[in-house]
Amino acid sequence: MIELLNNLGDGLAFVMGVIPILTITLGVTMGIIAGATPGLSPSMGVALLVPFTYAMSPTLALILLVAIYIAANYGGSITAVTINAPGTPSSVVTAFDGYPLTKKGKPGMALGVSLVSSTIGGIVGTLILIFFSGPLARFALKFHPAEYFALAIFGLTTVASLGGKNWNKAFIAAMFGLLLNTIGIDPISGVSRFTFGLSFLYDGFALIPALIGLFALSEIFKQLEGGNFANLQMDAGKQEWPSASAYWKLKNTILRSSFMGTIIGIFPGAGATIAAFISYDVTKRLSKKPEEFGKGSMEGVAAAEGANSSSVGGALIPLLTLGIPGSASTAVLIGALMIHDLTPGPQLFISNPDIIYGLLASLLLANIILLVLGFFGSRLWIKVTTIPKTVLFPLIFAVSIIGSFAVRNSFFDVAACLAFGVFGWILRRYNYPVAPIILGMVLGNIAETNFIRAVMMGGWTVFFTRPLSLGMLVVAAASFAVPLIQARKQKQSPEQSN
């Protein structure tokens, strides 16, 4: 323990230099931009910078990449809040309440809460990474495919409470997302499914174009249909920002979400999106004002951002302690480490403690720099809401087109984005929530591959014979049933009183 603190002290001393601070600031700035631009993902941002880091010292290179990774997770929430166009899949959940707050004329509240929750989430995730990475990594390794499947099912049941009155439609949307995910080459058997012989369908639908279409485009179509482009009358100078007491009230939500986000982030492949959905769901259940969720609840924003930012720390646990990537971005980090002749894994702690602890210290510092840049930046992002819609809409179309093209450099994705936009617009006209489609597309692969792996390894009964998997499935079943029963009760009680 003392050695750990000593090492950490050395690390902190290293990152307090001018060059490391400048590097982190550069990384955070680039990360915010990459995160806020739909179509640019944290992993792309990290990947594209890898070649530039050849010439840098390994520690600085890693610090730069990790700073981008952290900031991109926050960046996604900016566009989610201001224009309902989540920049990253995990910030879909931030949009649930962030955008309604903007529509109410309070984007400052949403941006403030999202920044502070992100920062605290990031710091909690880092602290857990520093102090408990060993035991947590060993636990994560024992996670059987049956348990991954149960986790995916658990994530899916959040739809029950997300949908509320529209739970039936919400589930249809989720199932449709899951079904869309099966298009393409089957990851287990290699057979091509539902591709109709079209080679651009071999990899199925990419998530980001679907995300941009279902959220950003359908939102514009909806507003165009409303025929009213009058701007929200807001004065960016007089914007309302959350007060200290407002933050203090959210402390439990933020901390709980941060812990959940870190833990869920540890499991390779699960990541930020599931963490945000589950945390949002749990927060809503525990909240004293669950009826505000989806209509502009600050708790909702805090739950989403706390979880998705803390999942970064979680995802780095298997990477640093075992050399196993927990997300697409960390997979790229492995490549970056290897270029610098470093092999991630337990050996790295012994052979290069300076690098590891420099990295850990820089994670803490990056979160603080994120807070500072975000604090001043928020005054800038908020101006997006004051751009006349006649100007904003064509530009959002342009961003959507280039963003969906950039994912795989493919025109098919652009067409898919447009189709998803029209589809989402129609669905929203008939009160179908679109977020479950994204959840289905995110969970589909995890659910399917682990389901099949589990059966291959342990037969059909494996889900019920492993205690952890059984427990998670029971909790999932309960969290599925409870909101439905509650909804039924609520429906009956006014009828009885009538």
Partner 1 sequence: MKQVINDNRVKLTLRGLGIIIILAGLLLLAPKAYGAFPEKPIKVVVYTGPGGLIDISARKFAGIASKYVDVNFVVENKPGAGGIVALKKVIQAPADGYNLYACTKSNIAKFVQVGGEGYLDALHWTAMLMADPECVITNRQMDIHEWPDLVENALAVPGEQTWVGPAAGGLDHVTALKIWDKYGMDAKWIPFKSGGKALAALLGEQGLAYVGNPRDALGNPDLFIAAVSAPERLEAFPEVPTFTELGMPGLENEFMWRGFALKQGTPQEVIDWYDDLFKKVTADEDWKTFWSKGGLDVTYVAEPEFSRLVAEDAEVFEYYLKKSDILPGDAVGFLAKLAIGSQFTIFAILLVLVWLSSSYVVYRSGYSALLGRFMVIGFFLLVSILFLVQSMNFPSSSAVGPAAVPRLWITMLIPLNLLLMIRTFRKNEAASESGPRVDIVLSFIGFLVAYLLLMQIFGYFLSTFVFILAGLYYLGYRNTRNSLIISGTWILFSYIVFYKTLYVPLPLGSLFQNLF
**By three-state DSSP, how is residue 193 classified?**
strand
Beta bridge partners of 141: none
Three-class SS of 485-497:
HHHHHHHHHHHHH
Stretch 270-329 residues interacting with partner 1 (CB under 8 A): 318, 322-325
- Spatial distance between the Cα atoms of 73 and 114, rounded to a whole number of angstroms: 11
Binding status of residue 481 toward partner 1 by CB under 8 A: no
Stretch 185-204 residues interacting with partner 1 (CB under 8 A): 185-194, 196-197, 199-200, 202-203
Q: In this structure, are residues 321 and 137 in contact, taking their beta carbons and an 8 Å threshold?
A: yes
Binding status of residue 142 toward partner 1 by CB under 8 A: yes
Binding status of residue 457 toward partner 1 by CB under 8 A: yes
Binding partner 1 by CB under 8 A: which of 225, 232, 252, 372?
Answer: 225
By beta-carbon proximity to partner 1, the closer residue of 109 and 401 is 401
By beta-carbon proximity to partner 1, the closer residue of 46 and 109 is 46
Q: How far is the CB of 79 from partner 1 (least distance, A)?
A: 16
Stretch 411-440 residues interacting with partner 1 (CB under 8 A): 411, 414-415, 418, 422, 425-432
By beta-carbon proximity to partner 1, the closer residue of 169 and 249 is 169
Binding status of residue 467 toward partner 1 by CB under 8 A: no
Q: Which residues contact 460 (CB under 8 A, 6 or more apart)?
A: none
Stretch 152-181 residues interacting with partner 1 (CB under 8 A): 168-169, 171-172, 175-176, 178-179
Token readout for 101 is 């707050």
Contact region with partner 1 (CB under 8 A), list: 80-88, 283-291, 330-338, 461-469: 330-338
Binding partner 1 by CB under 8 A: which of 105, 410, 468, 475?
Answer: 410
- Spatial distance between the Cα atoms of 146 and 125, rounded to a whole number of angstroms: 26
Binding status of residue 468 toward partner 1 by CB under 8 A: no
Stretch 117-136 residues interacting with partner 1 (CB under 8 A): none
Q: How far is the CB of 323 from partner 1 (least distance, A)?
A: 5
Q: How far is CA 403 from CA 165, 417, 431, in A?
A: 34, 10, 27
Stretch 27-66 residues interacting with partner 1 (CB under 8 A): 40, 43-44, 46-48, 50-51
Do strands 184-185 and 192-193 pair parallel, antiparallel, or not at all (unpaired)?
Answer: antiparallel
Q: How far is the CB of 134 from partner 1 (least distance, A)?
A: 13
| Phi-psi label, residue 327: left if phi above 0, alpha if psi -120 to 50, beta otherwise | beta
Binding status of residue 488 toward partner 1 by CB under 8 A: no
By beta-carbon proximity to partner 1, the closer residue of 6 and 168 is 168
Residue given tokens 């009183």 in the structure block: 497
Residue given tokens 């060059």 in the structure block: 19
Q: In this structure, are residues 46 and 69 in contact, taking their beta carbons and an 8 Å threshold?
A: yes
- Spatial distance between the Cα atoms of 371 and 301, rounded to a whole number of angstroms: 16
Q: In this structure, are residues 265 and 310 in contact, taking their beta carbons and an 8 Å threshold?
A: yes
Q: Which residues contact 461 (CB under 8 A, 6 or more apart)?
A: none
Binding partner 1 by CB under 8 A: which of 5, 398, 474, 477?
Answer: 398
Total residues at the site for partner 1 (CB under 8 A)?
108
Q: Which residues contact 59 (CB under 8 A, 6 or more apart)?
A: 14, 354, 355, 358, 359
Residue 192 backbone dihedrals phi, psi, to 5 degrees: -90, 135
Q: How far is the CB of 349 from partner 1 (least distance, A)?
A: 10
At residue 265's C-alpha, the angle toward residues 7 and 363, to 5°, is: 35
Q: How far is the CB of 174 from partner 1 (least distance, A)?
A: 9
Contact region with partner 1 (CB under 8 A), list: 141-149, 271-279, 366-374, 486-494: 141-149
Contact region with partner 1 (CB under 8 A), list: 8-16, 231-239, 359-367, 410-418: 410-418
Stretch 357-396 residues interacting with partner 1 (CB under 8 A): 388-391, 393-395
Q: How far is the CB of 114 from partner 1 (least distance, A)?
A: 24
Binding partner 1 by CB under 8 A: which of 4, 21, 127, 339?
Answer: 339
- Spatial distance between the Cα atoms of 75 and 35, rounded to a whole number of angstroms: 4
Looking at the chain, how many residues does it have? 498
Contact region with partner 1 (CB under 8 A), list: 2-10, 96-104, 241-249, 441-449: 441-449
Strands (E), 269-389: none
Binding status of residue 447 toward partner 1 by CB under 8 A: yes
